[in-house]
Amino acid sequence: MYFKLLLLLLLLLLLLLLLFNILINRFNIYLACSYHILCFCLQMGWGDLGVFGEPSKETPNLDLMAAQGMLFPNFYTANPLCSPSRAALLTGRLPVRNGFYTTNAHARNAYTPQEIVGGISPDEILLPELLKKKDYVSKIIGKWHLGHRSQYLPLKHGFDEWFGSPNCHFGPYNNSVRPNIPVYNNSEMTGRYYEEFEINVKTGESNLTQIYLKEGLDFISQQATAQRPFFLYWAPDATHSPVYASERFLGKSQRGRYGDAVMELDDSIGQILAHLVSLGIHNNTLVFFTSDNGAAVMSGAHQSGSNGPFLCGKETTFEGGMREPAIAWWPGRIPAGTVSYQLASVMDLFSTSLSVTGVLPPDDRVIDGLDLSPVLFNNSLLDRPIFYYRGNQMMAVRIGQYKVHYWTWSNSWEEYNTGINFCPGQEVPGVTTHTQEEHTMQPLIFHLGQDPGERYPISVQSEEYRDVHRQVTAVVEQHQKDLIPGIPQLNILCDFSVTAKLSLFCAMNALEDCLGSQ
């Protein structure tokens, strides 16, 4: 009897010690993670980095970042367009939940050009708002793209500082064609793209990435000196067509102007990491690099990147449109040189950031992002599906190595017949369709481990097909049962004060786009 009691007490003591160790480790993570940096580049493809197989070896800093951190080959955006993916990143929620979508036929207006007056819902809680609970100072540098009216801008949604543009630079523009895009320093407009912040459309020369880099380095220095925890959201747009690079990088790559822009971004990220080391705060800083959607292959070889072995690109829910390059870096915390095959999403960065700072996520809404802490620190694998959405339509789902397409669509015949092709040189009959084709009764199923290019659907007669279909159907039914779509924030009337300033041709096109999203 005495022996059993002693054994029970020893087991209880061991359990308490284990629990104490777990709590101490978690506390140390919270204590150590004083700084967050998210490098969110624009439409860089999975195949643009040397560490993912790009042969030119022109991304040495990102390759080194991967060697010192963790590489994610199975990392996804939440939408193949830039604005919805940014909304998903900062809310941890699918765009269909947070309302950043339209209900027009092809969801082509699921972004915020100057004519659209919608933006991020005031009911959404963004990451920097939550980080304020731990006294974080937050700054966004670069592209916002979640609404350009005053109520949607970053300083109204938790950011303390902002240097950048409410929209992408798009182009080429001039005043006779379209209002130039403003650049803000906090709430004050300091200039416009193509004017004070000049982009030479002919040569592709612009020093804007260098300005963004200096803003970032200065912010890091200021907060580190003041010993204030910070969140830096560094979102350059140099790789969006028309791509640009500063004079020092123009003509230096083997991949045209796009390659020059990638080289400069790689150099900038290298300088950011080196700056953290020089300040002695690298062991307290979690840095994550990824992209908002796949490479825009429709823009041509010198204006777009590489999606590696994957099908199609931006604006499609094939792998080339939604699988992104991703690297996590935190010296002393994330084991160096590791590769995680976790199915991960840009929404996970929201939940992970909250976890490592000890902030609880909101409990009054569904959060789609997972906490990747077990993956980052222990290289664990978490069971989860990846949903591929366009607008409010679930197009496909991935579970494990299998991807199931319920709908397919690349781009319309109207666009295709004018030379715009979202899958150049990659047409797959019955897969890269030019009308939105339904396959809900007999979905297309691919084994991505054996067929990453989504070219050879598994036979519907096979046992493998039936097993996968059965498994995925249960997951999809549960997802749809739990899904309450948010009110679409981009089905909102056009800003006629903007369209009135355009040329007649451009105004008609802009109004057609706007009214098509009603």
* Residues that are catalytic: 82, 145
Residues in the chain: 518
Side chain identity at residue 101, one-letter code: Y
Within 8 A by CB and 6+ apart from 232, the residues are 35, 36, 37, 38, 138, 139, 141, 216, 219, 220
The values of phi and psi at residue 427, to 5°, are -60, 130
124, β-bridge pairs:
none
β-pair type (161-165, 182-185): antiparallel
CA distance 198 to 246: 11
Side chain identity at residue 381, one-letter code: L
Distance of CA 418 to the CA centre of its chain: 29
CA distance 309 to 197: 36
Give the CA radius of gyration of the chain.
23
Maximum CA pair distance of the chain?
Answer: 94
> Do residues 391 and 397 lie in contact, with contact meaning Cβ atoms separated by under 8 Å?
no
Residue 160 structure tokens: 């303390």
